[in-house]
Amino acid sequence: MRIRKIRLALLALGLLAAGCASAQSSDGKTAHKENMGAVESWTQAHVQQNAGNSNVWIRQGIVANRLTHKVEIVAQATGLEAGSIAEFLLVGPKSEKDYEAMAVSFATPGDVARGLEFIGLPRGRTINARLCQFWPKGERVRISVRTLGRAEADAVPLFSCLTDKRPNHVWPSTFVYTGSRWTGDVATATCLADSQSSGSIVSTYNEPVTVLDIPVSASQGEVYGNVVVAKNHSFEKGGLLVLDVSPEPRADGQPRVINTTLTARRNPAVTGAGLAMIACVSAGVKTAEWAVATNDVQGALARFAALAQSGRDPFVTLALDDNLSVAAARDLAQTLKMIEGEGGIRIEPPPDGQLYYRAFLPDEKWRTRSERFSQPFELRVGRDKNGVWRATLVQILEDWSKKGQLTPDLTPKEFPLEKAEDLPVLLKVLAGKSKEELPNTLFVFVPADAPLGVFMPAVRLVHDALPMVHVFAE
């Protein structure tokens, strides 16, 4: 009888809160403050209903249930109208971006992450361009939204609240649990989304600290102005909503994310250049899950395609052996770029001592110095008259001393290197002589048939100082 009364009280509370919210002040922050009492009552009702139940985790405005595999989050609608730009679907209570969000949560982003992990979701990973992490990584969830007090059957998928104005762009039906970023040890860890201005819980682009991201690679600039609130799916300003979040069903019980490796080596049994000379060793990081196999490029890609077609998200760590030619590395990079994406593979950050694969796909206009925004160091590699590989570092000095000039005069200075170890020593000398900060970028110009090993030992020695590397095949 007591449980039945609590459930009736919850229902009545929801209906009352929904009705009261529609009459709130036009000031979103004022309405949010006024709704706090209703949310506090909602939270306490759940606390009483689940007293002693270790399968239920409750914080202000959020309930996580391990048995139902569901998290309920109470939020307040911001009142974005149809056609309005929506950078976020849900932000935290301290967010400064509520003017471009559909709703503001009463639970913190950190508590949303804790709730999702309470029901068993493993923490994923947000994007981080500096570390070459260009894909949100994690298991998927489904999210629906309803007015507080309405039954779950009345909820609509959260993705249906948005429209993408770009031709042929379909909004994804699931979201990636990235888990935001955290600082501190396990006992005192702080969720960065709790304090950063976006306060993102559910974003519409790859936000670096968001708790839930979209399952595609999309920058803020790509999405901004294109993703808007859909017709018939805007919510009245100040209204109280419930977002129901649950893990994506997996028929085979396998997680969606699978970590794999791909090592490309020169096949000694094959002559020629390009993809035909590559032997690919592919494997799962957990080899029991995905066995090691050696194939040509086509065979390796067929293995990855089968994984993707089975509903997995292959995250691929690529390593290029130093005996591989520059042309082969470039051709492989072009091929991987074509199959990277939703429904394909996702390239991971390179292992230590390796370059990110797109380093072999530079902008060709940068070959011409006058076409560059700035002048990086150049490492030029070639054979001497005896056929021995030699490398020369080139520093391009810019002179802006002429009155009224719009582009600088460029003067290249060449520094021949006898061995790879000479490069870090030379950079230290140049840094000591320079009055300005040296560039952090290196352009490598190397014959297409040269093995990677003719320049990679030097690049590895200076990669901390020159992390941005672009390789031009000649």
Domain residue ranges in the chain: 2-247, 257-358, 362-473
Query: In this predicted structure, what is the pLDDT of residue 441?
Result: 96
What pLDDT score was predicted for residue 28? 58
Side-chain-facing half-sphere of 66: CA atoms under 13 Å: 11
pLDDT at 253 over 90: no
Mean pLDDT of 184-202: 89
Instruction: Look over the chain and give the mean of its residue pLDDT values, rounded to a whole number.
Output: 90
Q: What is the pLDDT of residue 281?
A: 96
pLDDT (average), residues 444-461 = 97
135-180 confidence digits (pLDDT tens) = 999 999 999 999 998 888 889 999 999 999 999 888 889 999 999 9
DSSP bridge partners of 378: 394, 443
**Residue 168: what pLDDT?**
85
Pull the structure tokens for residue 180.
Answer: 């935001």
pLDDT over threshold 50, residue 18: no
Judged against a pLDDT cut of 90, whether residue 102 lies above it is answered with yes
Taken in order 274, 276, 277, 283, is the CA torsion positive or negative?
positive
Rg (CA), the chain: 27
The fold of the 362-473 domain, in CATH, is Nucleotidyltransferase; domain 5 (3.30.420)
Is the pLDDT score of 452 beyond 60? Answer: yes
Confidence of residue 7 (pLDDT cuts 50, 70, 90): very low
Around Cβ 53, how many Cβ atoms within 10 Å? 12
| pLDDT for residue 230 | 92
Q: Which residues contact 446 (CB under 8 A, 6 or more apart)?
A: 326, 380, 381, 382, 454, 455, 471, 472, 473, 474
Whether residue 25 has pLDDT greater than 80: no
